[in-house]
Structure 1
Amino acid sequence: MTAPSGRTGRPPLTEARKAEIRLEIAQAAVDLFVEQGVAATTGEEIGQAVGVSARTVWRYFPSKESCVSPLFSAGIGMIADRLREWRPGQPLDEVFSPELATGHRLVAGPDRTTIGALVRLTRTEPGLRAVWLQTYDEAEPAFARALAERAGLGVDDLRPTIQAAMFNAALRAAVEHYAWRSADLRTGPETAEAELLATMRSAFAVVEAGLS
């Protein structure tokens, strides 16, 4: 009699479930970082908050600081899509309308107050700062491809590359400006959302005006 040849044990996780676990870990990490600081937070604590082992945390992320990367990068695809759909003659700040902001978060998960606190931590936590800047470094080629497609240009054309760099810098500056300023504001989630949108649209208006 021969033993069964099929694999036993748990079935492999789907890609959708893996993405969910990554986001759960990210949300737990940001809550702990904001509450007790990065240095005081361990991988074991992050895992416990989600109900997984520290080994699982390290399977998904190379460091505790990198655990927050899904929250920073969640909106890249949506923003690239909006740039691709940007109509000729349409003001850039209108591409990111209040209706869009209501239906989508540029960073997923925690509320704006928590996200603001997390971005402020990037000022004093080099590990988080590196993750924050890496997110924008990875986003820039996606923005350049979207702008090239919009204009019917090749991906190697310099113009969309420069435009993407300007847009990317404005986006990061707007979010950081919002985060620094929100530390002095006491607002609810809806007001915070409107404040972030207004800051972004002001930054995009500056980009569209160009240098003079």
Structure 2
Amino acid sequence: MSTEPPPSLTERRKAATQLDIAHAAAELFATRGPDATTAEDIARQAGVALRTFYRYFRSKQDAVGPLLTVGGDRWRGLLEGMEPGTPLGVALRTAAEQALAVPDAQAAQALLRTRGLLRAAADDPALRAVWYRVNQESEERLVPVIARLAAPGDEGRDPLEARLRVRLVAAAATDTIRIALETWAGTDAGAEGPGSPADLAVRCLERLGGGLDGA
């Protein structure tokens, strides 16, 4: 389990403001496109001053970062709650299915917002760079989580081999979720059911098969 202290009230307020700005940016990018959207537009939509926008973000594309990290944070949190020794394939599939589930309209809307962003990123290199950066950071944060889950199975394994296994699983799992979301964004499939992000992610993870469990 995570041993990090809970965020302070100031940190929670900062995160809430950043997420409000991210939602505003995502909505404008999806409806107008990045080229027709300015930082001033995003700040106005979010109800904050332009100086507040630039206190948190360097560019209009950077503003969507907090929104894109939400899913990865949820997935990682679910994995952190699993018992060490849980087969990695099972743990990753279960967590992916739960993290990408849409139990209510708000969750479905969040996924659809991500779809709009990924579609907009196809023609905007700066926005695409933010997406890739978010995935790289997610992979790095996943490494210690995978290491904890894999620890019992790595007893007696060469230390270098164990580290390689953990890094490879973290990279493969992160890219699997990315590919599932990107593939879904290029279709008109719904947020749940066949062809949804959860469905595609689980199918991709199943295709990786025993490699995730170190077979």
TM-score in terms of structure 1 length: 0.78
2:28 and 2:62 mapped to 1: Cα distance? 14
Moved more, 13-22 or 26-35: 13-22
Match of 1:163 in 2: 169
Write the distance in 2 (CA, Å) between the matches of 1:89 and 1:164.
Answer: 10
Considering fraction of residues, name the structure with more helix: 2
Q: Would the aligned equivalents of 2:61 and 2:127 in 1 still touch at CA under 8 Å? A: yes
Matches within 5 A, 1:130-209: 130-152=129-151, 157-182=163-188, 185=189, 191-194=190-193, 195-209=196-210
| Higher mean displacement: 130-139 or 75-84 | 75-84
The one of 22, 25, 28 aligned to 1:26: 22
Corresponding residue number in structure 2 for 1:53 = 49
TM-score by length of 2: 0.77
Give the conservation status (yes or no) of the 8 Å contact 1:74–1:108.
no
Question: Percent identity at matched positions?
Answer: 32
Q: Which amino acid aligns with 2:191?
A: A
Partner of residue 65, structure 2? 69
Query: How much has 1:94 moved relative to structure 2?
Result: 3.3
> Gaps (5+ residues) in structure 2?
1-8
Amino acid at match of 2:140: P
User: Structure 1 residues 54-63 or 193-202, which shifts more?
Assistant: 193-202
What is the deviation of 1:18? 0.9
Distance (whole Å) between structure 2 residues aligned to residue 104 and residue 206 of structure 1? 29
Q: Secondary structure at the match of 2:37?
A: coil
How far apart, in 1, do the equivalents of 2:168 and 2:66 lie? 26
| Pair 99,162 (structure 1): closer, same or farther in 2 beyond 3 Å | closer
The DSSP-based 3-state class of the residue aligned with 2:101 is helix
- Superposition pairs for residues 101-120 of structure 1, below 5 Å? 101-102=101-102, 110-120=109-119
The one of the two structures with greater contact order (alpha-carbon pairs below 8 A, sep at least 6) is 2
Shift of 1:59: 0.6
Q: Mind listing any 5+ residue stretches in structure 1 that lack a counterpart?
A: 1-12, 186-190
Contact 2:88–2:150 (8 Å) recurs in 1? no
Counterpart of 1:93, as a letter, is: R
1:181 alignment partner, SS class: coil
Residue 207 of structure 1 deviates from its aligned partner by: 1.9
Q: 2:141 is matched by which residue type in structure 1?
A: A
Query: Structure 2: how far apart are the matches of 1:133 and 1:108?
Result: 22
- Please identify, of 152-161 and 13-22, the stretch whose mean Cα deviation from structure 2 is larger: 152-161
Q: Is the 8 A contact 1:83 1:143 kept in 2?
A: no
**Residues 177, 37 of structure 1: CA spacing in aligned structure 2 closer, same or farther, 3 A cutoff?**
same
Kindly provide the amino acid, as one letter, of the partner of residue 159 in structure 1.
R
CA RMSD of aligned residues (A): 3.0
Greater CA drift, 193-202 or 33-42: 193-202
Distance of 2:208 and 2:201 partners within structure 1: 11
CA contact (8 A) 1:101 1:197 kept: yes
2:94 counterpart residue number = 94
Give the 5 Å matches for 1:28-47. 28-47=24-43
